[in-house]
Amino acid sequence: MTVTAVVGTQWGDEGKGKAVDFLAEGADYVARFNGGNNAGHTVINEFGTFKIHLVPSGIFARNTVGLIGGGVVVDPAVLIEEIDLLNHAGVNVEGRLWVSPRSHLIMPYHKILDGLYEEAKGAGATGTTRRGIGPVFADKVSYNGIRWSDFASGAFESRIVTSKAARAAATTGSGSGRLMNRRISTASRHRGPRVRGRSPPRRPPHRAGPAPAPRTGTGRSVAAGN
């Protein structure tokens, strides 16, 4: 299978989303392989103007299957909102959007941590989006993360407990640590962020697993980075 990779070589805003939207017309699959919803792609087409952060921007091509890879960190609330937005605009993603069960979840406490880290740095703050991207990647590489497959299984609660215990051990003894633990404890009582007054279901809002066989027969795929 031929793969066309679209990778930015600057600090963003190179037009990757528009390029992928154009190239997807001749592809079977379009994949987002890394990053999170701190990145945004603006696509303008016959359906309207869309600012999407997680769903691959090539999803507008009717015969293309969208893939969110294991290197992507996923905020469930943002993903559900984008799916609702696309379906409402007439871009039917049912059966065309797949999420890797190995992708990691951004939990509410990751956003809290992101903000606390920034505040602690004072004048030397990084200037993050405070969407939890850094903390969730830190959890991923330290084996304390929660994967999409955990969210849809009985392992979710045990993973929350493990993650909370690890943070408690790392932050015990300081005032900021105690504050962090209180906020994390409150956030972890919820299985996930609420969207439009409802909690996300125990299982993913769409399929997660191996992608179906190509349908267009072109044998091409497009992959886009953060």
User: Which residues are identified as catalytic?
Assistant: 13, 41
Number of alpha carbons in the 13 Å side-chain half-sphere of residue 74: 33
Buried b (16+ CB within 10 A) or exposed e, 90-123: ebebeebbbbbbebbbbbbbbbbbbbbbbeeeee
Q: Crossing angle of helices 108-121/133-141, nearest 10°?
A: 110
Residue 91 CA, chain-centre distance (Å), reads: 20
- Token readout for 55 is 């769903």
